[in-house]
Structure formats: structure tokens, C-alpha cells
Structure 1
Amino acid sequence: MASADLGSAEWERSKISAQDINLLKKLGISKKPKALCFPSEESYPTPPMEYRVSFVDHLIRGLSAPIHNFLRGLLFIYGLQLHHLTPNSILHISIFITLCESFLGVQPNWALWKRIFFCRRNGSPNVAYNIGGIVICVHPDVEYFDVKFPDSVQGWRKKWLYIHEEKHGSVEDNIPPFDGEEKIYRRRSWDAEATDEEKLVTEALMTRIHKLQSTRGKELSGIQITAYFLRIRVQPLQARKNPLWKYTGDNDVDRLSVDLPVKDLEKLVWKISSLSKKDAVPSSCRVKPYSATNALPKNHPDLVSLPPLPEGGEVEERAVVTEDNQGAPCPESEPAGSRKSAGSSKKEADSKATTSAHSPPPAVSPRNKRKRTDVEDSGTSKAEEAAPSNRKAAFDPYLDALVSSGDEEETPAMDATARTSMSHTLVVSEVQVEGEESSPPQQNTDEPILPASPRVPSPKRARVESITEPTSQLGSSSTPLLDDPLIKEFIRFGAQFFGYREYASKAEEKLAEANKRADTLAQKLEQSEEARKKAESDASKARADADKAKAEAAGVEELQKRLHDAETALSEHKTAQTAREEAITKRLESQNRRFVRKTSQEYELEDPGDDPLLDALAFLEFHGDEACEGIDQAKEGLSRLYPYFFPKKKEPATFLALAKCFNPEEDLGLKLRQENMKVAVESTVALVADSQQNVDWTKVGDT
């Protein structure tokens, strides 16, 4: 039964601990600004522009961006992405590159790689993993270094992050764009073997490797190679300015940081290998590596053999043999708790609750998929894992509209009843505004109530003062004078008038005092305004003088800095251009040698330009002309044969279609002979019939 491919269901929220961040800082991987970008709450990688997805365990094993051409070629020829490789596979590639450059003195060799390594699928019979789905293995019949890989790398799949892909030389050094759902297909290149010619060329390198392994007293091991590139602080899988055999020491341009303390180096080696804390970490290699202080011998062979790169186009070795989950995968030793399970419905619900909006819908995981515990794969404690998440839910405009329309508070109705002038005085202010007039309210004539006076604090607290007047009687009437309604109204108006007059006199006194204070303040304000203008003028003049002096002082320094930056940029550009021309020249020479091997024809330039690049291009033009001439001759020959084999068909217009006509499954020669035989028989019968002879057709048929 074909194994199920998990695809995007294997991704989950990244859990990078503070210890991991401190380790990346010590290794110098994050020393450049914006070199690393840590994900927030997304459960599926969505790298920003100019960033690629990587893992902490990949970076501490020698990976950095931009990546080495050899690693880029491996990803292309094997049809992989970075997240398809396990940490042990990354370490395999780092050790191989360090071995080639530091101890063999050659560039990483593709022919040598094919003699030592091959690819296998990682997983179980029922599950095909996507993250870490490919394992780099050593051929069983090859004697290679015992690297002492750990049996398990716990929790490495949860520690993903984004690395900045800075430009190096050209766009050809870029990492393939991230695609977390890309399926892994088995290709012919996974089992590619070196040809007889490649074995002959690399035999000296294999002999050198066996000598490094078996020389008594100077045995070289995989742990020594690992500790060496960690000690010198150069990432083997990074595109570098110089190979490791030109390593200059503490001031090398490719170093990421200063030397690690011995304790940190030992902890790092113990972390990425199967050594225990009781085993000693080698402080140096028993074989002195090539470097600036230990230069390569004279006439040292320079064997260049890179895997096919993307700009070279599709190659036959990349052809898909079958889907990866149709074959029996080769599981790598992984921790029992390093996989996410489809059990535990509670954890699945928590995972769904924290899933980012960018995350694709999770796929159904197989039942027999191994479970990895949160404690093993995370760098945090149980208390941190158990802490509830207080993250704010994502904004849902539809839900927000429902809440706003249903739970909106009602606005209380306003009292639109018009207030009288007295009610205005009572509600707005307890003291009537100076100069404001208010008409007296309607009063009950039975009980005289004095209106609010300016002297009274509040109309509610106004007292009714009785005015003692002699009670005179008019005529024989028994009603007092004060009980007359008209007299009561006069008394009310008089009291109100006296109150306003006293308030007006006091208001005039206060107004005169306020005017006097206002005149004093205006005078002081005018003086302060003049002082402020003078101070601002002096400050602006001093600032202008300071800016002028600063500009004059920084002019020469700025020019010197610009000149230095321009010289540095020009030098780096020349170095990069030289390196690129050398790489192109090597590629052209390799293509020319391949063409010569296939055609057994060599050319000599009549007037060589003594320029390797131009000479290599001239040879390539000769080879292209020869190839074009061969295609034209083949087309001419096939065109002449076409009417004989296909008399009733029209000749195709293109050479490719014409060539496919002569490569069918049936035998064209047999078909032509049958047609000729048929024509001969029909001609014979026609001649016999025309001669009117008696013929025994039974004998003719037997013949």
C-alpha cells in the first residue's frame, strides 16, 4: 500500500527557545542586521520577501545563506528543498565539503560524491514525511569516515525560522523558493553512480581518503572534521569568497564570529553527534588541514566537478522514476516523540485555535503516525506549555457587524421641553450671569415669593423677607394694606430692584479691578513677547552658525568616507567579477570536454586571444556549428528517406517531428518490405492475367 504523504499537515507553530537564540548569536549567524526573522504565531511558514525557511539544527550544522553552489546543485539534481533534508544529512554535506577543501585540496567533487553517497526516502511504510523526508546515506561497500551521528534529533522540525537571502555574485546562487506542500518524487539521480571515467579521475581522491583514515597515529575521523569547521567559524554550506584551503585565521573574511570558548564548542559537538559528555572532543585534527599557513603543494591537481545547476536546464538524471510514497522508504533514526500525532483531540483543538490565518487547512494524519511530545520538541518547560494563550482573536468583520447591531446601547431620549428663563438659571448656573436679564416667573398671588436676587447664592435658597409697614386701613375695611395684591406686586418689584442695584455696583467695582489687572498683564505680556522674540532670534542665529561650522567640519570627512566606500565597492565588484568569469570559464571548458568525448573531434584556434573566457567561447561556437551541421545533414537524409517509408503522408516541417517518425514501435524496414512484396505480387498477377495463360493458382499461392 502506498504511504500517505503528510504535506502541509506536518507544519506547526515554531517553538524556538531562548537557548537556541543565544546559540545562534554565539555562532555569529545572527550578527548581521535582519539576518534572521523569527515567526510569530503562524503555524505554516509564510516567509517575507528575500527570506527562506530554515531550521535551527540546519544552521548550527554549517548552513548559511547564500548557499554553496554544491548544495544548490544537490537540491536541483535531487529535486529537493531545504526542509526535505534531515539535520544529519546537512551535516553529511558539511563534512564532505570540509573534507574536499581542507584535506583534499579540491573543490567539492560531484563525481566523488556519487561514489560515496546516495539518497533514500525517510519515513515509515504508511507515512511519507515531508519535513526531513530525505536522508543522505553512504554506500554500504564504501569505506568512509565514521561520523557518529546521533540516533535522534529531538524536536528539530518545530524549530523553523526565516533566514535572509542576501545577494552573492548573481541570482544563480539563490535558494529555491519555499513550497511546503511540494511532494517528493523518487528520481534517477538518487542512485546515480560514477561512470568509469569519473571513477578513474577520482581514484586518487579515494586513495587519499583511505590514507587519511588508516595512517597510524594520524587517523582522521568525522568528529575531527566536524569540530574543525565549528572551531574555525566558517560555514561550509555558505557561498564564500575563498575556499577553505585559503583560510587565513582570525582575520579571515568568511569567519562569522570569534573563536568559541572550549566549553561551548564541546557542548555543540556533543549536541550534533552521538558522543557522550564522557567522550573527549578533539581540540585539533591529527592531519594538518590545508590553509594559508599550509599551502597546497605545487602542481596540485584542480579537479572541478559540480552537480548540474538549474541554469543548465533539465538533465536526464532528474527524471522521475516513481512517486516517493510508492517505494519502501528508508527510515532514519528519529526520536519516538519527534512526530506529531493525530490522537489527543484536546491538543488538536488547541492547535487549531492558535493557527494563523495564513495557515492552509490541516490534512488528515494517519492513525499510526508517531506522536512527539511537547516537552521533547520544545525548548520551554511544562509550565510554559500549559500556560493558556491570551492572544486576541482575529478580526471578523461579519461577526463585528452582528455584535454592533445586536448589542448596541440605546441612546437615552432627551427632554425636549423648553425651559423658562428661571429654569435656565436654576439648571445651568446657581449664580446669574452678569448682565443677563430674566423675566419673573408666574407666581401664585396668594403667597408673595421674592424672585432670585444676584446676592442670593441660589434661587432655591432665597428667603422671603417681610417688610414692616404701618397697617393703615382705608375707610372701614378690615383688610390690611399689605394684603392687597397690587401692593404685594410693588413690594416684590422693589426688592428685586434693590437687589440688582447692589449687585450692579459691586460688579462695576470688580470690573474696574479686573480692567486694571488686565492692563498690568497686557504690559507684562508685551515685555515677555519682546524678550521671547529676541531670544528666538539669538537662538536661530547661534543654530545657523553651529550648523555651518558642523557642515564645514564634516565635509572633508564625508568625502573621505565616500571615497573609501567607492574603493571598497569597486574592489568587491572586481573580485566578484573575476570569480564569476573563472566559474564561467570552468563551465565552458567542462562542456567542451564533454562535447569532445562524445564526438571524438578536437579543434585548435587559428588566432587565440590568450583570454580563457573568449577562447572557451570560441570552442563552444565550433561545437555548436558542428552540432547544427550534423542536424542539418540528418534532416536532409531523413527527408530523402521519408517518401519511401511514408508515401501517403506529408513530410513534417520540424526536424524533431521528422525524427520521431523514424522512431516508432513498429519496424519500418519490415513494413517497407511487405509493401514491396505486395506490389510485386499484384504486378505478377496482372501480367499473368494479361497474357491469358492457364495458371495453376494453387501452386502459385504455395510458392
Structure 2
Amino acid sequence: MAAEDLEWERSKISNQDINMLKRLGLMKKEDAIRFPSEESYPKPPMEYRVSFVDHLIRGLSTPIHDFLRGLLFVYGIQLHQLTPNSILHISIFITLCECFLGIPPNWALWKRIFCLRRNGSHNVTYNIGGVVICVRTDVDYFDVKFPDSVQGWRKKWLYIHEESANSVEHNIVPFDGSARIQRRRSWDAEASEEEKKATEALMSRIHQLQNTRGKELSGVQITAYFLRIRVQPLQARKNPLWTYSGKNDANRISNDLSVKDLEKLVRRVSRLAKKDPIPSSCRVEPYSASNPLPENHPTMSSLPPLPEDGEVEEQAIVAEDTQGSSIPESEVAGSHKSAASHEKEVESEASESTQSLPPAVSPRNKRKRTDAEDSGTSKAEEVVPSHPKAAYDPYVESLVSSDDEEEVPTTDVAPRTSTSRTVLASDTLVEGEETSPPQQNVVTTTPPSSPLAPSPKRTRVEKIVEPAPQLGSSSTLLLDDPMIKDLLRIGSQFIGYREYANRVEEKLAEANERANALARKLEQSEAARKKAELAASKAKAEADEAKAKAAGVEELQKKLEDATAALDEHKAAQASREEGILKRLKTQSRRTFTQTNQDFDLTNPVNDPVLDALSYLELHGSEIREGVSNASAVLSALFPYFFPKKEEPATFLNLAKMFNTPEDLGLKMRQENMKVAVENTVALVADSRQTIDWMKVGDTEQIEQSRWRSLIKAAKPNTKKILAYLGIKPASTPSSSRPEV
């Protein structure tokens, strides 16, 4: 089994995870998700791919979005090699583009903001989650508040069904657990100048969304938004998010989550603590059906290359990563280190080495030269440009390729090669370019060639040094002599080397002057760099101080707003309370006036409704207290007459209750008095020694009321004597007696 396979183990998905996937609507279709059984290494069924629970809850669904498919293709990676935070990065970027910029996800904008890095530690190089998406160090982007580490996400793998959308398959890259992660040039691909110019307005809009006071947009707000509206950003959708129409939108995968489930999900994918509030809405209203795009709004379209577009150059592998170039997994979330910084340093060192004078002999160039000579071709002629002002050079004209000198005896080769030095074609002098002296210690069996020679194949030396006709017939014999040929060749070489040495000395002097000028410019640039670094450090310190002050001011402003809101609430509560008190006071005053029929006018009102109502209630209270005092005195005086054998109550309330009985106390007292009167009358009659038939008197049925009243009226004059006898002084008022039996 490969080393990468050792990271896989049996999937451990809990019932809580399954319930979460159901609530999110990711298991609405019966065959949407399959869970592994006992296998410890993924073996997806036909039409299924490998994914993770933490990928799905961060916005991934099938069929996948073309933008994500293009990223996987360009970067040469698989879905399982991305970390959960990287998946969330892509979801936030797509939501930002569609909801707040009003454009499809833009590949040029992506390259300006993000790059790829290896994920690992000093001891481990990951394959699952071995690639992480980072924000470039020179870019000001949203603070997403990723968790430092997503615990155990690699153990929660499952199979998701691969679907198709609009008859075009948006395939996830087929699973290959043995595929190694290899760093590619596309990982650090930067936007071109044209792309930067085209996306400058988008970057300005992003900075405006971040820094507008009171309307700051954050990565957590964007995350909570797409989780709240129940649309998966990484899914291929029928309509973009700027046309979102609410609960009946075709892109929604489930109904609204409960507040508790939404808060739990947002805290799971972010670094928010329990005390941190979950944003209920974005401070900037996103584009939707209720907030449509402005008229003539540009919708820039820029997608990464897709597999059907053919192979792309960015997929080329540039180097094999080492553990030293990887980011520890715990540092991935907050790392904004540029992935291209190390490579740029290497490139800068290489460029400095190529500018040093003179350059070293390149074994690669040597190999190319040898191949050209062995093959007998004239490739050097393609590299060396022609020199239009070059004068006649006997050294150049004397050069003959070893392949062309078929008539030269082999005995002449050793003397030539033992004293010759070959100059490569790459050392040719060209006007306006820096040059270096001829390559040294490169000994070949080929006669030396001049740096100005356009090709190693030239006309034979016999034709070049042909003597004048006036030498006579013996000149031909002299030219045919091998020694004369050698002498002519050596002389030509000497002249060529001398002239070449003079030109090299001139070029060397020019090179020295240029090197001195470059050294002075380097010193100036170094001083300017130090000055710029000092100014940058000061500016950064000032910016940090200003940011700290701004944060303090914002905190004070927030506290002031909270205090103002609390004061307004307190005032509203106080006003409501005073209104209730006033209502109750007016009610009591009205009830008192109804019972006592006594109203008052305030002599000096304070024009305060509560205090004035309280003053009216005090006046009514004084009247009531006086009435209670008088009533108490009257009832105390009457108590012995109505209740002769009972003790008088101590409180007025109990005393009043004694008189407030169901029976009529006045009638009862009058009846008692009538009884006493009858008894007294019978006693008086008995004392008068008159014979009276009391049986007849007691027969009340025989009494007529009219006669009875006339008899009482006739008896009144005599009652005064009887009352005087009894010691009672009758009142002067007429009697109100009535027949009571």
C-alpha cells in the first residue's frame, strides 16, 4: 500500500452528523449520499465520488460549480486534497462575487487574491487535505475567522452521487487515492497587467465593503448569509445568486434552519465563541430579486480553464515540495504568506548570477556545441546574428570545419589542435550588448572559430589565400606546400586573435565602466530601499496607531449608542409607568367623587398631571378621614343601645361591620321599645284596678287598623302623663309611630 493510503481509515460519522446533513437538505434525495460500511479505504461505487462531512456543510453539493471544477483542473489537484477551510474560502468568494459584486465568480480576481500552498508539518506531509488556499500577503481581504484546526474531519468521509446539470456533466475529478500532490506553476499564477486593470474596480469595491463605517462586511456575515438562504455556493445552479427570490427559489436545497441550528452551524465553521453574536443579516444588502442589479451593470465573465478546453500551460510541474516549504496545519487558517515568495527569491538570485561578468562556461552550452559539431549542422548560424559593419577578417576566412577539410592530411590535425582554443558561437560580439571573453579550456579537434564567424562552415583556405597572378607559375606550388599552408593559417590566426584581443579589451573597459555605474546605482538603490523600509515601518506604526485609535473610537461610539438605546428604553418605560399611575389616580379620584359627591379645585396647581392628580386624591382622602372620624363617634354612641350586652370593637371597620348586618337594627330597636311600652301599659292598667278582659284585648284578629290608629291618636294626650311618670321627656316632634305587631 502506498504511503498516501496510510492516511485513510474507517469512516467515523456520528448520528449527530447524519441528522445535521438531513436538516441541511443534503440527503433529500434517496441516493444523494452513501455511507461507507466496513472499508478502511475509499472504494466509491459507480457514479459516486469521495467527499467529507465538513466539505458538505461548507457549501459543497453535486453537480459542482464550473468555477470549482476549473480550479481542480488548473491546479492539478483532487477534491479530497483540499482542507475544509479552503472549501469555505471558495464558497465565500463565489457568494461575494454573485451577491455583493453582481458578477459571476471571476478567475482574474481570484488570482489577485489567492494562491495555493502545501499543508503539512515538520514530520508529516499530508495527502488528504494536503493543499490549502491562502490569501496573498499583499492583499487586504475579509477576516473570515477560520478555526485554527478542524478536528477529525479526515475521518468523516463518505460517497456523494455525481449528477449532471443542463445536459452538461459537471464532473468531480475521479478519485485516485494514490495520486501525489505535486506543486505546479499555476499554484502561484498571478493576474496579468490586463487582468489587474480589468479587476481594479472590483478590488476597490471589496475595500469599500470592508471599510465603510457602519456598513462593514465580514467573512462571517457572508458565511451566515449563504447558510441562512439555504443555497450551496459550490453547486452548479440554474440561476446566479443575484436573482435569489426567497423561500420559493429554485436553488434552495431545504427550508430555513432554526435559529439554534443556524447558530450552531456558523460557530462550527468559524472561530466565533459562544459569547460572540451570530449576525442575523448583512450590513450591506446583497443583490437579489428584491434588490436587483443596477441598469447597465457589467457582468464580467472569467472562468478558469476547464478540462474540455484542453491542456493548459499552468499545469506544468515546477518542483517537488519539501517539508520545509509546507505550512503546518494549525497555521493554515491565519496564514497569508505568499506562496511565491521563496520562488521569487530563487529567481532573483539566478538573475543576479546571470548578470555577473564574465559568465562561467555552461556545460549545457558545451553539450549543444559538441552536438552541433558532431552532427555537422550549422545551428550556431541561427544563434549568432550577422554583423553588418564587420571588416574583412583573415582569421574568420581561414576557418574550415573539420568535416569539410577532406583534403587536409591527418598529420596536420595534431599540430593545429594542440595549440588552438575553440570560441563558442554564444560569445559573438554584437553591437549594444554586454560581452565576455572567449570560453577557455574547451579543447576540440575542430579548428578555432572566430566570435564573428557566422557559421563554422566556410570556403576552403586554399581559395581564400589564393596569391596574386603576378607571382608566376611557382606560386601554385608554394601554396600547395603543407608548410606554407600552416604558416598562412598560423599568421591568419595570429592576426585574428590580435584584433579580437583589442576588441575584447575595449569591450572589457566598457563592461568595467558599466559595472561601476551599476555598482553606484546599486548603492543608491540600497540607500533608497533602506529609506523606503524606514518610511514604510513608520507608516505602518502610524497606521497601527491610527487603527488602534479608530478601534477605540468605534468602541466608544458603540458604547454610546448602546447607552442611548438603553436610556430611550428607560424613558419609554418611565413614561408608560407614569401614564399607568396617572390613570389609577384619576380612577380613584373619580370613584371618591362619586361616593362623596364632593369635588375640589386646586388653589396652586403645579401643572404636573401626576402631582395634580395626587393632590386631588389627598383632598378626597382628607374628606374621607373626617367622615370616618364622625361616623366612628356616632356609631360608638349608638352601640350600647343596639348592642347592650356586647363589647364595642376596637377598630372602625369592625364597628361598621356590626351595624352593617342583614337585619334592620332600627326596626329591631323600635320593636323592643314597643314591647316595653305594651308591658308598661298593661302594668298601668293593672295598677288602676280596672277589670279588663285581657283575652279579648289579646285577640288581635278582632282589631281593625283604622280603629286602632284612631285609638292611638286619642291616647296620645294621655301618654305624656304616663311618660312623665316613667321619667321620659317626650320629643316635641309628632309621633311617627305606626302599627307594628
Given the two structures, how large is their TM-score scaled by the length of structure 2?
A: 0.49
1:52 counterpart residue number: 49
- In structure 1, give the amino acid aligned to 2:156: K
The reply on whether 1:701 has 2:490 as its aligned counterpart is yes
2:89 counterpart residue number: 92
The offset of 1:331, in angstroms, is 1.7
Aligned pairs for 1:581-600 (under 5 A) are none
Where 1:62 maps in the other structure, the secondary structure is coil
- In structure 2, give the amino acid aligned to 1:95: I
Provide the C-alpha distance between the structure 1 equivalents of 2:181 and 2:205, rounded to a whole number of angstroms.
35
- In structure 2, give the amino acid aligned to 1:146: D
The reply on whether 1:12 has 2:15 as its aligned counterpart is no
- In structure 1, give the amino acid aligned to 2:75: Y
Aligned pairs for 1:12-411 (under 5 A) are 12-325=9-322, 328-333=325-330
Note the residue ranges of structure 2 that are not aligned, 5 or more in a row.
Answer: 333-371, 385-423, 429-448, 469-473, 493-741
1:523 counterpart residue number: none
CA contact (8 A) 1:5 1:325 kept: no
1:492 counterpart residue number: none
Where 1:324 maps in the other structure, the secondary structure is coil
**Against the structure 1 CA distance between its residues 304 and 693, is the aligned structure 2 distance closer, same or farther, given a 3 Å change threshold?**
same
Where 2:252 maps in the other structure, the secondary structure is coil
- In structure 2, give the amino acid aligned to 1:223: V
- Identity percentage of aligned residues: 67
CA contact (8 A) 1:61 1:272 kept: yes
**Against the structure 1 CA distance between its residues 230 and 650, is the aligned structure 2 distance closer, same or farther, given a 3 Å change threshold?**
same
Aligned pairs for 1:566-581 (under 5 A) are none
The offset of 1:686, in angstroms, is 6.5
- Which structure would you say has the larger Rg? 2
CA contact (8 A) 1:62 1:235 kept: yes
Provide the C-alpha distance between the structure 1 equivalents of 2:256 and 2:54, rounded to a whole number of angstroms.
20
Provide the C-alpha distance between the structure 1 equivalents of 2:249 and 2:265, rounded to a whole number of angstroms.
22
Aligned pairs for 1:596-615 (under 5 A) are none
**Against the structure 1 CA distance between its residues 5 and 213, is the aligned structure 2 distance closer, same or farther, given a 3 Å change threshold?**
farther
The reply on whether 1:692 has 2:470 as its aligned counterpart is no
Note the residue ranges of structure 1 that are not aligned, 5 or more in a row.
Answer: 336-644, 652-658
**Against the structure 1 CA distance between its residues 678 and 254, is the aligned structure 2 distance closer, same or farther, given a 3 Å change threshold?**
same
CA contact (8 A) 2:380 2:455 kept: no
Q: Of the two structures, which has the highest relative contact order with CA contacts closer than 8 Å and spacing of 6 or more?
A: 1
Provide the C-alpha distance between the structure 1 equivalents of 2:252 and 2:161, rounded to a whole number of angstroms.
18
CA contact (8 A) 2:104 2:300 kept: yes
CA contact (8 A) 1:172 1:311 kept: no
Provide the C-alpha distance between the structure 2 equivalents of 1:332 and 1:130, rounded to a whole number of angstroms.
12
The offset of 1:660, in angstroms, is 14
Provide the C-alpha distance between the structure 1 equivalents of 2:90 and 2:380, rounded to a whole number of angstroms.
42
CA contact (8 A) 1:224 1:284 kept: yes
The offset of 1:679, in angstroms, is 2.2
Where 1:258 maps in the other structure, the secondary structure is coil
The offset of 1:691, in angstroms, is 2.4
Where 2:40 maps in the other structure, the secondary structure is coil
The offset of 1:24, in angstroms, is 0.2
Tell me the alpha carbon deviations over residues 11-45 of structure 1, each in whole angstroms, 9 at most, x when there is no partner. Answer: 00000000000000000011012000000000000
**Against the structure 1 CA distance between its residues 14 and 209, is the aligned structure 2 distance closer, same or farther, given a 3 Å change threshold?**
same
- In structure 1, give the amino acid aligned to 2:225: Y
The offset of 1:161, in angstroms, is 0.2
1:462 counterpart residue number: none
The offset of 1:333, in angstroms, is 1.3
The offset of 1:166, in angstroms, is 1.1
The offset of 1:168, in angstroms, is 1.4
The offset of 1:141, in angstroms, is 1.4
The offset of 1:684, in angstroms, is 2.9
- In structure 1, give the amino acid aligned to 2:476: S
The offset of 1:328, in angstroms, is 1.6
The offset of 1:223, in angstroms, is 0.4
Provide the C-alpha distance between the structure 1 equivalents of 2:50 and 2:457, rounded to a whole number of angstroms.
68
The offset of 1:314, in angstroms, is 1.6
2:461 counterpart residue number: 681
The offset of 1:683, in angstroms, is 2.2
Provide the C-alpha distance between the structure 1 equivalents of 2:186 and 2:153, rounded to a whole number of angstroms.
27
**Against the structure 1 CA distance between its residues 646 and 324, is the aligned structure 2 distance closer, same or farther, given a 3 Å change threshold?**
closer
Provide the C-alpha distance between the structure 1 equivalents of 2:105 and 2:25, rounded to a whole number of angstroms.
24
Tell me the alpha carbon deviations over residues 613-665 of structure 1, each in whole angstroms, 9 at most, x when there is no partner. Answer: xxxxxxxxxxxxxxxxxxxxxxxxxxxxxxxx9998899xxxxxxx999689x
Provide the C-alpha distance between the structure 2 equivalents of 1:113 and 1:201, rounded to a whole number of angstroms.
13
Question: Bigger shift: 122-131 or 45-54?
Answer: 122-131
Where 1:321 maps in the other structure, the secondary structure is coil
Provide the C-alpha distance between the structure 2 equivalents of 1:218 and 1:176, rounded to a whole number of angstroms.
40
CA contact (8 A) 2:122 2:323 kept: no
- In structure 2, give the amino acid aligned to 1:173: H
Pairwise CA RMSD: 3.1
Provide the C-alpha distance between the structure 2 equivalents of 1:75 and 1:696, rounded to a whole number of angstroms.
69
**Against the structure 1 CA distance between its residues 662 and 295, is the aligned structure 2 distance closer, same or farther, given a 3 Å change threshold?**
farther
The offset of 1:700, in angstroms, is 5.4
Where 1:47 maps in the other structure, the secondary structure is coil
- In structure 2, give the amino acid aligned to 1:67: I
Aligned pairs for 1:265-664 (under 5 A) are 265-325=262-322, 328-333=325-330
CA contact (8 A) 1:124 1:331 kept: yes
**Against the structure 1 CA distance between its residues 686 and 161, is the aligned structure 2 distance closer, same or farther, given a 3 Å change threshold?**
same
Where 2:21 maps in the other structure, the secondary structure is helix
The offset of 1:125, in angstroms, is 2.7
Provide the C-alpha distance between the structure 2 equivalents of 1:33 and 1:207, rounded to a whole number of angstroms.
45
The offset of 1:126, in angstroms, is 3.2
CA contact (8 A) 1:5 1:130 kept: no
